[in-house]
Amino acid sequence: MSKKKGWTILLSCLLMVYLFGVSIGPWLQHHIHGMDEIVTVMEENDIDGGAYYYTEIEGAADGHAYLDQSLQFFAPEQYGLTLPFIAGIIACLLILYIGFRFLPR
Amino acid sequence: MFWQEQKEFPGQAGLNVDIFNRRIRMAEKHGDQVVEDVGRWEWSEMIKKEDWWAVWLGFFILLMGVIIYFPQAGDLKQELQAVEEKYAADAQKTDKFRTIGWYQLNDAKQKVKAKDNAIGKWLATFSKKPHTWSANPLNAFYMGEEAAEAKREKARPKYEELAAAADQAFEEAKAAQARAEAANFADPQINEAAKGAIADWRDAKLKASKAKKKTGAKAYNQIGWLILLGVAFAVFFGVGMKAMGKSFKEFLMGFSFIWLISVLAYFASAQATMKAYGVGYAFWAIFFGILISNTVGTPKWAMPAVQTEYYIKTGLVLLGASILFEKIITIGTAGIFVAWVVTPTVWLVTYYVGQKYIKIPSKRLNATICSDMSVCGVSAAIATAAACKAKKEELTLSVGLSLVFTSIMMIVMPAIIKTTFPVDKQLILGGAWMGGTIDAIGAVAAAGSFLGEKALYVAATIKMIQNVLIGVMAFAVAIYFTTRVEAEETGKKVGAMEIWYRFPKFVIGFIGASIIFSLLYTYFDNQVAGLGPAMIDQGVVKGMGDFFRKWFFTLSFVSIGLATNFRELKEHLVGGKPFILYIFGQSFNLCLTLLVAYIMFYVVFPELTATI
């Protein structure tokens, strides 16, 4: 690829990205059913739709605190290392062990 | 192979030889020269190999976090005890509904954060990414005092209005609770009225607190900080490069370019529309990297800093510290079955179908897509790709697939739940379904918030528990690929020592960080409830590891892009097999998650569901 062509493609792509961000994207948003509402919720709650991990979202910390305290107060017998809970962990490990052991060669 | 160094030996054109933990020996056998693959451990690897440098650098950052935040443990413990004393009696007045005191206790505990000290605040500014912007790109880096004041002025009337409404709702909630208390919490109708009034107060308070944030807009100039951060990272990684025998000066030169593209990736992801579509920094880092390398070409002088594995593995060690096992008890047994039983089942079934029926040519691509789709998107894809030594294009493809389907599911799933689920099951069943299936937590939170606060809490918590599973899955995948796949590829059986030679060593740091910080979390939380989150979550993890982890992942994604050729990427797309695999896996995931969530939350543990 010639240098001139390379630079032309690079700059055109950057321009397209910019245009998508400032005009095409917002226009499209209004034409996708339900998207406007989701965007409003995200703006109001300051949610970053591009977050990849739980520590990047306030809702995860809030939810953790809320559910933790709810269980401790209202269903303490269901909280912590209960027998069904441990069974769940063991089930997970067993699935992984058996699954990986017998995957096809 | 991307995750391994390669070398062509004279007379052995095209022969790929992994020299990472291996020694290749030319030997005479039956008169012919053959290549013998011999695993051997050398202690010097601990200062010469990037896997170990990732561990040292990751733990150095975590240790700094411990030094900065742990001395506050005593003060925070006292603060939490004071909060308990103040609100606990009120919080436990009744088990018929959540009292005002219950919420006040919850709110007050959440305000206790180790990272709120002076050093934590400085680190937050130092490592800050470009700010959110809409039409004026300059706003990503700079906002003057006048503009900040204008923003504050604009937000103030709305906040004042909402704050007044919250105050009024609080008075009404107090009166309603007093009426319920006067009836000894025995009248169901009065209890319901109190519950409703308290819920209204919570809604009003939440709205007011969101509006309050906007009244605190401050002027900023991020350019100087970004330059300082870039220099600090260049030196930080440069030290390891020097120890590994590379040129420090050449690395610094190249790093300036990688850094610039990383800032550009954050700049694009901070744009309001891109945020709305859920197009995050990982996509932009790869996109800009690929765009440059396939148009004007990656400058040769930048290549010494194109060190994908080095950055990614350091980031993964930091990620390990946030994989806290106590988190999985948050939503009880029902949650563990949805997140920890469904996920590995979906992973294994999809992998099996990928190999047996769809016939994905690369097992590593298959594994990376499985983790990406079934566990939690990009973070799981990174950890799995590193653990199974996938190629860079394989990780790029997985991230791309995740992005496309996440954006679609974020919009479609809440709509389906709203129109098809019974009203009483929309929040919890819907939340669990979305949390267990949508890849990225940003999209999970957006879709959950759309349904309501409880849906957000359930969805985000299920996703958080899945995030914790990354450690288990990465370890299992590393073992599987080391003992089975690589053994098949080389045609040799592997013994215990051989597993050690081949095992990706950074996984030790990743799992080690998880175990150490999980134990510390439990140790603190056992002293007083809330001290674990305050010291670890809101201390070392969010106040240190997280500040840098995302930057390290961005550096690695930029490196991936800069070293990727479109043709290589196209090879993996032939026949659309990755798409078919993703669609099959996600469809199976959607069905199984919904079924298990329903059974767990509404058949096996309905009393637990009633407490949420």
Mean pLDDT of B306-315: 91
Q: Do B463 and A103 touch (CB under 8 A)?
A: no
Distances (CA, A) of B59 to B108, B230, B379, B382: 31, 20, 19, 19
Domain interval for residue B424 = 223-611
pLDDT tens-digit profile of A12-36?
999 999 999 999 999 998 888 888 8
Q: Are the CB atoms for B33 and B27 separated by under 8 Å?
A: yes
- In-domain check, residue B505: yes
Report the alpha-carbon distance of residue B114 to residue B121 in Å, rounded. 10
Provide, as residue numbers in chain B, all residues whose Cβ is less than 8 Å from the Cβ of A55: 322, 537, 541-542, 546
Say what the pLDDT of residue B329 is: 78
Is B217 exposed, middle or buried, given 0-12, 13-18 or 19+ CB atoms closer than 10 A?
Answer: middle
Are B463 and A54 in contact (CB < 8 Å)?
A: yes
Among residues B194, B218, B242, the one where a domain terminates is B218
Q: Which residues pair with B33 in a beta bridge?
A: B28
Determine the pLDDT at residue A40.
Answer: 86
Residue B28 has pLDDT above 50, yes or no: no
Whether residue B97 is contained in a domain is answered as no
Q: Which of B186, B202, B218 is the last residue of a domain?
A: B218
Q: Is the residue at B67 inside a domain?
A: no
Looking at per-residue pLDDT, the higher value among B555 and B493 belongs to B555
- Element (DSSP H or E) covering residue B288: helix B281-294
Give yes or no for a contact between A42 and B446, defined as CB atoms under 8 angstroms apart.
yes
CB contacts, 8 Å: B546 with chain A: 55-56
> How near does any CA of chain A get to the CA of B160, in Å?
16
Record the tokens describing residue B83, joined without a space.
């909060």
* Closest chain B residue by Cα to residue A37: B450
Candidate from A21, A80, A88 with C-beta closest to B337: A88
The answer to whether position B557 is within a domain reads yes
In angstroms, the separation between the Cα of residue B116 and the nearest Cα of chain A is 15
Across the range B270-286, mean pLDDT stands at 89
CA distance B244 to chain A (A): 31
Q: What is the pLDDT of residue B18?
A: 41
At B41, the pLDDT band (50, 70, 90 cuts) reads low
Answer yes or no: do B188 and B237 share one domain.
no
A12-26, A32-46, B95-109: the lowest-pLDDT one:
A32-46
pLDDT class for B471, splitting at 50, 70, 90?
Answer: confident
Domain positions in chain A are 1-44, 57-105
Question: With contacts defined as CB-CB under 8 Å, which chain B residues touch A32?
Answer: 411
In chain A, what percentage of residues exceed pLDDT 90? Answer: 30
Q: Could A61 and B135 be called an inter-chain contact, meaning their C-beta atoms sit closer than 8 Å? A: no
Nearest CA-CA partner of B539 in B55, B75, B62: B62
The answer as to whether B465 is a domain residue is: yes
Please give the Cα distance from B111 to B133 (Å, whole number). 28
**Residue B476 shares a structural domain with residue B571:** yes
Distance CA B553, CA B542 (A): 16
pLDDT score, position B39 = 59
CB B77 within 8 Å of CB B527? yes
CA distance B51 to B168: 58
**Whether B200 and B288 share a structural domain:** no
d(CA B415, CA B405): 15
Residue B505 CA to residue B521 CA, distance in Å, equals: 25
| Residue where a domain stops, chosen among B186, B218, B250 | B218
Q: Which of B552, B549, B543 is nearest to B123 (CA)?
A: B543
pLDDT score for B40? 66
Residue whose structure tokens are 């990414």: B129
By C-alpha distance, the chain B residue nearest A42 is B446
- Whether B202 and B263 share a structural domain: no
Each residue of B139-170: pLDDT tens digit? 999 999 999 999 999 999 999 999 999 999 99
Q: Is B389 exposed, middle or buried (0-12, 13-18, 19+ CB in 10 A)?
A: buried
Same domain, B159 and B206: yes
pLDDT of residue B12: 33
Mean pLDDT for B404-421 is 90
Task: Evaluate whether B340 touches B328 at the Cβ level (below 8 Å).
Answer: yes
Query: Is residue B506's pLDDT more than 90?
Result: no
Kindly state the average pLDDT of the residues B287-301.
Answer: 92
The pTM assigned to this predicted structure is: 0.85
Q: For an interface test with B, which of A28, A86, A94, A96 has the most B Cβ atoms less than 10 Å from its Cβ?
A: A96
Q: Are B471 and B419 within one domain?
A: yes
* B213, B442, B479 ranked by CB distance to A51: nearest: B442
The two tokens of residue B512 are 């080690």
Q: How many domains does chain B have?
A: 2
Select the residue of A50, A67, A71 nearest B278 (Cβ to Cβ). A50
To the nearest whole Å, the CA of B245 is away from the closest chain A CA by: 34
A&B contacts, CB < 8 Å: 269
Q: What does the pLDDT look like over B178-218, one tens digit per residue?
A: 999 999 989 999 999 999 999 999 989 988 988 888 898 89
Q: What percent of chain B has pLDDT over 90?
A: 53
| A50 interaction partners in chain B (CB closer than 8 Å) | 269, 274-275, 278-281, 283, 440, 442
Please tell me which residue of chain A has the smallest CA distance to B269: A50
Diameter of chain A by CA atoms? 70
Comparing B388 with B505, which gets the higher pLDDT? B388
Number of Cβ within a 10 Å radius of residue B302: 22
SS3 B39: strand
Of A73, A94, A92, A50, which Cα lies nearest the Cα of B468?
Answer: A92
In chain A, the residue whose alpha carbon lies closest to the alpha carbon of B96 is A74
How far is Cα B165 from Cα B168, in angstroms, rounded to an integer?
Answer: 5
HEC string of B244-256 equals: CCCCHHHHHHHHH
- Of A20, A53, A88, Cβ closest to residue B340: A88
B6, pLDDT greater than 50: no
Does residue B458 contact residue B612 with C-beta atoms inside 8 Å? yes
B17, with CB counted inside 10 A (0-12, 13-18, 19+), is middle
Token pair in block for residue B391: 């190629």
- Of B544, B462, B606, B427, the closest CA to residue B61 belongs to B544
Q: State pLDDT tens for residues B510-564.
A: 889 999 999 999 999 899 988 999 999 999 999 999 999 999 999 999 998 998 8
How many angstroms separate the Cα of B499 from the Cα of each of B17, B226, B270, B387? 18, 42, 43, 13
Kindly state whether residues B485 and B594 are assigned to the same domain. Answer: yes
Domain check: are B161 and B270 in the same one?
no
In a domain, B16, yes or no: no
As a whole number, the mean pLDDT across chain B is 87
pLDDT tens for residues B417-446?
A: 989 998 888 899 999 999 999 988 888 988
Residues B382 and B399 in one domain: yes
Q: What is the pLDDT of residues A52-80, one digit of tens each?
A: 888 888 888 888 888 888 888 888 887 77
Q: Are residues B383 and B333 in the same domain?
A: yes
Residue A16 Cα, gap to closest chain B Cα (Å): 12
